[in-house]
A and B are shown apart, each in its own frame.
Chain A
Amino acid sequence: EVQLLESGGGLVQPGGSLRLSCAASGFTFSSYAMRWVRQAPGKGLEWVSGIRGSGGSTYYGDSVKGRFTISRDNSKNMLYLQMNSLRAEDTAVYYCARDWGDSSGYCDHWGQGTLVTVSS
């Protein structure tokens, strides 16, 4: 059974940093691209970032480019999102999601999410 478990969310001040983690199990982690998708309170879904199975290619949404960094450790089945220079508008539940393959863009499994609140 595919399982994705996010952690690392919390309250952070504007301008601060936070690192999200996603522990994956139940599948061959290195064979799949992974994504981060967020949802601001009461709002819709927004794709944040993606990374290929090998980690060799990464992708970012315009709103986080230059501030967020996605990475993965295939030896530990872990996905990460380093978030720097956080803004109030980054407040959201952040979901880790598995791609259907190594580059499709369709997310077939989702974690339960972790809440990030950016506020002074």
Chain B
Amino acid sequence: DIQMTQSPSSLSASVGDRVTITCRASQGISSWLAWYQQKPGKAPKSLIYTTSSLQSGVPSRFSGSGSGTDFTLTISSLQPEDFATYYCQQYSTYPLTFGGGTKVEIK
């Protein structure tokens, strides 16, 4: 199975900060990587697919990059509604696997 490792597991940031979350795959997954946002008690929300394509309706302050084994999610200017947990997911190979999550908290 492909292991997905996210870092950091949590971070504290202020509104307006630039935030970067990394995700590393245990083997190459080409560009088959997605990012999801989850708020407490809510279902995950799709943000980015195929590494860098924004899901419809997602603000442009979110961006993704990378290929192969190393990927990043960047929030260019953190907004109050962005405080949440973020998960990466590879869909190159079954079983589909998720990273452990990165919780973005208010500083």
Q: Could you list which residues of chain A lie within 8 angstroms of chain B, going by C-beta atoms?
A: 35, 37, 44-47, 50, 59-62, 95, 100, 104-113
Contacts and interface: CB of A to CB of B under 8 A. Distances in A.
B43 A47 contact: no
Nearest to A93: B43
What are the 5 A-B residue pairs with the smallest beta carbon separation, nearest first?
Answer: A105-B91, A47-B96, A110-B43, A45-B98, A106-B49
Contact of B43 (A46, A59, A95): A95
Contacts of B98: 44-47
A99 to B, nearest CB: 9
Contact of A47 (B45, B95, B99): B95
Q: Looking at chain B, what size class is its interface with the partner chain?
A: 20 to 34
Nearest to B91: A105
Contacts of B100: 44
B55 A45 contact: no
Given A108-B49, A113-B43, 6 more contacts: A37-B44, A44-B99, A45-B38, A104-B91, A105-B94, A110-B43
| Dominant secondary structure at the B interface | loop
Contact of B44 (A50, A61, A95): A95
Interface of B: 1, 32, 34, 36, 38, 42-46, 49-50, 55, 87, 89, 91-92, 94-101
Contact of B94 (A37, A45, A46, A59): A59
A98 B1 CA distance: 22
A111 B45 CA distance: 10
B40 to A, nearest CB: 11
25 contacts: A37-B44, A44-B98, A44-B101, A45-B36, A45-B89, A45-B98, A45-B101, A46-B98, A47-B95, A47-B97, A47-B98, A59-B94, A59-B95, A60-B95, A62-B95, A95-B43, A104-B91, A105-B92, A105-B94, A106-B49, A106-B50, A106-B91, A107-B36, A108-B55, A111-B43
A108 B34 CA distance: 10
A108 B36 CA distance: 9
B44 A45 contact: yes
